[in-house]
Amino acid sequence: MDKLFVNLGENSYNIIFGDSFLGLADEMKKINAPQKLLIVTDSNIEKLYADEVKNHLNSAGFDSEVYAFRAGEENKRMDAILGICGACIDNNLDRKSMIVALGGGVVGDMAGFAASIYMRGIDFVQIPTTLLSQSDSSVGGKTGIDFMDSKNILGAFHQPKLVYINVNTLKTLPEIQFISGMGEVIKHGIIRDSEFYDFVKNNPEKIKELDSKTLIEMSKRNCSIKAKVVEADEKESGLRAILNFGHTIGHAVESAMDFKLTHGECVGIGMVAASYIATERGLIDSDILSDIENTLANYGFNLKLKLPECDIIYGFMQKDKKKSNGKLNFVLPIKIGEVIRVNDVKDDEIYKALEYISK
């Protein structure tokens, strides 16, 4: 099994990469996990992996139970968090107990947030089962829920004690969810590592075939990019904001479409919109914009969508939690592997970008 160390001082942890759950119990013992565990998942993942993980842990001496909430971004709300906390009480979790987040990004965000507030904070472990969560949301300690039409507006930084990635869970992933995850993977290459971007761009067939060895290589290289950014800026006071490339417009589109598109799809078109703004400003040549579009298209992204009116999307952008001093923050590429942060993008630039990604 491969391993990556995320160095955050007392909040440090390992990311484990493999192709099964067989090493999970040993890794839990290495972090001195308590006997009492609550596996938090959703109604989709419960059917696929909850019993396997529970039985594996219990056969190794742990006392684990499963709590599942209804799957879907629309359920990423406070009442679901209270449901998780209620399950913690029902299953007699104390301050030394641990939550195990088994599922995609919504599960990780919600289980992590619940862990951050239950008894003023207990430990948790991430077992991401989607490409989106394996490539992005399980690493870095961001947790949160949606509230009043704003995405991830309530939450906390709460680092996991361990991230355990079984890449073979991707073989049960619907195609649209795989496409969604590739949005974050491609993003990491664009913002920080041109060699990794070229690896992803030049190997679409091997990656889409879900070859375990290729997926482990991709996952480890991808997570190392995010880990280095998080190590430099754990709580997004500076550098970590570059991870929001594609998110300023992407989150607004996601909300305006009432979450009918996946997060990664919206990040993909948000990256195109941001790259279009960069092209119009002369920061990158049009051939870089085309290269980004072609790479996304090769992984199944639809880059021209029938979107709500620009005014509606713009209205959601004004609720972006990343605004500062009333100004929207954008991450724009200046070449593959390097981006800059700006807060002077004018309304007409935004509207032109929205028109560019619209049918």
Tokens of 350: 């935004």
Residue 195 catalytic? no
The answer to whether 231 and 224 have CB atoms below 8 angstroms apart is no
The answer to whether 358 and 305 have CB atoms below 8 angstroms apart is yes
Q: Which class in CATH covers the domain with range 2-172?
A: alpha beta
Return the SS3 of 40: strand
Q: Which of 10, 32, 120, 346 is catalytic?
A: 120
Instruction: Dump pLDDT digits (tens) for 133-190.
Output: 999 889 989 999 999 878 888 999 999 999 999 999 999 999 999 999 999 999 999 9
Residue 3 catalytic? no
What is the arithmetic mean of pLDDT over 257-262? 91
Q: Which of 158, 240, 254, 265 is catalytic?
A: 240
Instruction: Dump pLDDT digits (tens) for 89-120.
Output: 999 999 999 999 999 999 999 999 999 999 99
Measured N-to-C along each axis, helices 263-280 and 286-298 cross at an angle, to the nearest 10 degrees, of 170
Start-end of CATH 3.40.50.1970 domains in the chain: 2-172
With b meaning 16 or more CB within 10 Å and e meaning fewer, what string describes 309-346? ebebbbebbeebebeeeeebbbbbbeebbebeebeebe
Measured N-to-C along each axis, helices 212-232 and 175-192 cross at an angle, to the nearest 10 degrees, of 50
Start-end of CATH 1.20.1090.10 domains in the chain: 176-357
Q: Which of 251, 254, 265, 329 is catalytic?
A: 251
Q: Which of 244, 254, 265, 329 is catalytic?
A: 244
Q: Which of 226, 254, 293, 329 is catalytic?
A: 226
Dist. CA 138–CA 127, nearest whole Å: 8
Dist. CA 300–CA 26, nearest whole Å: 37
Q: Which H or E run contains 236?
A: none
Dist. CA 123–CA 334, nearest whole Å: 39
Residue 56 catalytic? no
Q: Which of 54, 56, 187, 263 is catalytic?
A: 263
What is the arithmetic mean of pLDDT over 279-287? 98
Q: Which of 65, 231, 234, 236 is catalytic?
A: 236
What is the arithmetic mean of pLDDT over 48-75? 96
Residue 236 catalytic? yes
Q: Which H or E run contains 285?
A: none
Instruction: Dump pLDDT digits (tens) for 26-42.
Output: 999 999 999 999 999 99
Asked if the 176-357 domain carries CATH number 1.20.1090.10, the reply is yes
Residue 175 catalytic? no
Instruction: Dump pLDDT digits (tens) for 322-355.
Output: 777 788 999 999 999 999 999 999 999 999 999 9
Position 240 scores a pLDDT of 85
Instruction: Dump pLDDT digits (tens) for 288-315.
Output: 999 999 999 999 999 999 999 999 999 9
Return the SS3 of 3: strand
Position 276 scores a pLDDT of 98
Residue 36 catalytic? no
Residue 293 catalytic? no
Residue 309 catalytic? no
Residue 29 catalytic? no
The residues facing 144 across adjacent strands are: 155
Q: Which of 27, 46, 73, 184 is catalytic?
A: 184
